[in-house]
Amino acid sequence: MHVDDFGYLLHLYYGTRSEGTMDYLPTYADRSGCCCSPHEAGTRTYSLDVLPQEFPFQGNGDLRSTLLQVRDESGTFGCDLRYVRHEVRAGKYGLPGLPASYADADTDGAETLSVTLADERIGLEVELLFGVIPEIDIIARAAIVRNNGDGRVTVEKLQSACLDFVAGSFDVITFNGQHCMERKPSRQHVLPGSFSVGSRRGQSSHQYNPFMILCDRDATETAGRAWSMSFVYSGNFKAEVEQTQYQQIRMQMGLSDELFSYPLEPGEQLVAPEVIMTYSNEGLEHLSHNLHRCIRRHVCRGPWRDAPRPILVNSWEAHYFNFTGDELVRLAEKAADLGMDMLVMDDGWFGARDDDCRSLGDWTVNEEKLGGTLAQLIERVNATGVKFGIWVEPEMVNENSDLFRAHPDWALAIPGKQPALGRDQLVLDFSRKEVRDNLFDQLCRVLDQGNIEYLKWDFNRSMIDIYSHATVDQGRVIYDYYLGLYDVLERLVQRYPNLLIEGCAAGGGRFDAGWFHYAPQFWTSDNTDGHDRMTIQYGSSFGYPCSVMGAHVSACPNEVNGRTVSLSARGLIAMSGGGFGYELDLLELNDRACEIIREQIKRYRSIEGLVREGLYYRLTDPMSDDVYAWEFMAEDGSEAIVNAVVAKAEGYGEARYVVPRGLTRDAFYREVASDRVYPANALMDMGLPLPVSSALYMSRSYHFVRVDE
């Protein structure tokens, strides 16, 4: 970047590491009166409408989409931000009340660049933060807007990161879907105009993930330039790519400006949540590897970050709301017998919750249903040899609940209008401290009843009626809600440091880098069908490591789409998540299925380190290829797991080859099951044949170990 003669902070270059200055990149030309110039420029060849910038703002000539729009006390739009100072600090910055990546000066060589810009007229200051984690090629960005003036300033738009390209012909890749089919990759050319995805749902959403890639039009997994932005935030967002009148490209990400209007009184500040950026000139695979390392080691925290996670059975698809304590104990016994580590009691254990129309908000144990106290149930489950976990949905309330009857104003609802319902429930106003405190206390009372070692934190509807009784400025409510949610999660993590937390939002509706700062896993999707999961997990892997994906084997035909996939393939696909488990009635399994599951559990224990920490390779694309193949490799190349599932079967068809990547060139690898040695070069050139005429969902998993002697 570069501060020019007028004090504007221009962006010059973000690409292959390079020394020297790149201030020759922006061009200056008379573009007629259509591109306005700052008054003192004194030339028509200088316009912010054309120049690449680090933090474009609305107010002095840039008429593209900008990162900042403010109104002063009179209601007038516009500001003019000029460079004031900068400094470089050791270590990576953190953000007050918001999730952010973290890295150390000593161990990671991390540094923070802080650049302050200011508008003198309204007394506005913006501190831009750039956190650099050099070893994994990450630059994280955030911004803090401070009102240093004497009048109220209203922030109408505040985004966190912008990348301006002076030229280029690009594709944009976004990750889109719906409940039960999240994060399908979608790739298209960047064309004139503006393309954006985002969420106004009060959650990062199933529909568009807060992660975006821009790449060369011919970029592949292993070649071409690619840039990405990941939002470290779980609420509303907007990610946009604009191709301008002069074929320049602007990529930007941050808070959504819809349903947002944030007042700052003199002395107050507003923090734009973090965006993690990375760059690759070796295609999408390298980009993903940078992001996987970043989220695994620099976003996730706590003892479970680097530890083997329990293999669990979850009661939901086994029993839904209909279970007794005895049935759960029988499920736990069977889980123990099969070699699992944990039983999770999902929805239905509290209040009068026998269906999804009541009791959210009343986190009192239904002892009649459990046939005793929660403590007794946990003891009985632990006595079978497995740990105990529990489901909650603390941000929600049913109108049919004691909490709502006592505090109707604690739900987000507009006075004089009946609130829109989602799954018959309302969203609690987490922007209010008394609401958060009540729910936090209720949660602690549950967690303190016994040896609870896992918590599934769910969130099952979008926000519609954005009104809080605690403020007159309703445009701040969703932002404050998320500060409130992060406050509760932080308190939870501090009070129960050993509790394993898994996020969930009707499946993967809040699967974002913000969440992973508080919990190392998220339920990837309510769709547990093996076939669809290939696509969902494949899509998720572009921006997120497998270690964060909750993935379970469920029964067939699948509850969601009626499909039947072999148990071996379902297992292999679920075993590619860091939160592996089962979600079916184990007591209904026949002997053969039990035998397969015992083998899967043994297998997972032997490979889970590679799944959690290895380099992940997308060998094929499950949306278009006949075989879905993927690979985990140790960072040092010493071993690899290569998996394949036949996704399209043809009778008497051609032989299909699985071609691994990333093996050590010129080395030899022994495949463990067959004890056969293969030359790495040939494997990576021609691949390994799968059995000819393989049946649909036939699966194979090869474990290669490098022969080092």
For binding to ligand GLA (CB under 6 A), which residues are involved? 316, 346-347, 356, 391, 458, 460, 504, 506-507, 523, 526
Q: How far is the CB of 203 from ligand GLA (least distance, A)?
A: 13
Cβ 612 to ligand GLA, closest distance in Å? 22
Question: Beta-strand (E) ranges in 134-248?
Answer: 138-147, 153-165, 170-178, 181-189, 193-199, 208-216, 226-231, 237-243
Distances (CA, A) of 519 to 248, 289, 302, 457, 497: 39, 20, 8, 10, 11
* Pick from 441, 313, 450: nearest CA to 382: 450
Judged by CB, which is closer to ligand GLA: 179, or 297?
179
Strands ordered across the beta sheet of 111-119: 82-90, 111-119, 124-133, 138-147, 269-280, 226-231, 208-216, 170-178, 181-189
Distance of CA 101 to the CA centre of its chain: 13
Closest CB to ligand GLA among 317 and 631?
317
526 an active-site residue? yes
Give how far the C-alpha of residue 17 lies from the chain's centroid of Cα atoms, to the nearest Å: 27
Give strand pairing partners of 130. Answer: 113, 141
d(CA 287, CA 221): 9
- Distance separating alpha carbons of residues 628 and 576, to the nearest angstrom: 13
User: Which residue do the tokens 């994060």 mark?
Assistant: 183
For residue 136, the number of C-alpha atoms closer than 13 Å in the C-beta half-sphere is 28
User: Which tokens hold the place of 261?
Assistant: 């209007």
Q: Has 458 been annotated as catalytic? A: yes
Q: d(Cα 36, Cα 45) in Å, to the nearest integer?
A: 9
Q: How far is the CB of 521 from ligand GLA (least distance, A)?
A: 13
CB of 507 to ligand GLA, least distance (A): 5
Residue placing its CB nearer to ligand GLA in the complex, 325 or 507: 507
CA 199 remoteness from chain centre: 14
In the block, tokens 């696909």 appear at 573
State the CB neighbour count (10 A cutoff) for residue 594: 14
Task: Check if the beta carbon of residue 90 is closer than 8 Å to that of residue 111.
Answer: yes
Distance from C-alpha of 263 to C-alpha of 280, rounded to nearest angstrom? 39
CA atoms within 13 A on the CB side of 292: 24
Strand partners, 645: 628, 699
Write the DSSP assignment of 438-504 as a string of letters: HHHHHHHHHHTTTTEEEEEE---S-------TT-S-GGGHHHHHHHHHHHHHHHHHHH-TT-EEEE-
Active-site position among 458, 480, 512, 532: 458
Considering 80, 362, 526, 532, which one is annotated as catalytic? 526
Shortest separation between residue 583's beta carbon and ligand GLA, angstroms: 8
Q: Which is nearer to ligand GLA, 130 or 523 (CB)?
A: 523
The β-bridge partners of 126 are: 117, 145
Q: Name the minimum Å distance from CB 305 to ligand GLA.
A: 23
Q: What are the residues whose beta carbons fall under 8 Å from the beta carbon of 204, sequence distance 6 or more?
A: 210, 231, 233, 234, 235, 237, 509, 510, 511, 512, 514
Instruction: Give the helix ranges, DSSP H, for 250-373.
Output: 283-298, 316-319, 325-338, 367-370
Q: Which is nearer to ligand GLA, 50 or 506 (CB)?
A: 506
Cβ of residue 321: shortest distance to ligand GLA, in angstroms?
Answer: 8
Pairing outcome for strands 237-243 and 249-255: antiparallel
- Measured CA to CA, the distance from residue 264 to residue 147 in angstroms comes to 6
Nearer to ligand GLA, 221 or 347 (CB): 347
Q: What is the rounded distance in angstroms from the CA atom of residue 515 to the CA atom of residue 482? A: 11
Smallest separation (angstroms) from ligand GLA to the CB of 353: 9
Q: 504 or 619: whose CB is closer to ligand GLA?
A: 504
Q: Which is nearer to ligand GLA, 350 or 616 (CB)?
A: 350
Q: How far is the CB of 509 from ligand GLA (least distance, A)?
A: 8
Nearer of residues 9 and 501 to ligand GLA, judged by Cβ:
501
Residue 515 tokens read as 């969440």
Which CB, 161 or 573, lies closer to ligand GLA? 573
Rounded Cα–Cα distance for residues 317 and 236 (Å): 30
Q: Closest-CB residue for ligand GLA? A: 347
User: If you count them, how many residues does the chain have?
Assistant: 709
Q: Which of 346/613 has CB closer to ligand GLA?
A: 346
Q: CB under 8 Å to 688, separation ≥6 — which residues?
A: 642, 657, 658, 659, 660, 678, 702
Cβ proximity to ligand GLA, 308 vs 422, nearer residue: 422
Positions annotated as catalytic residues are 458, 526
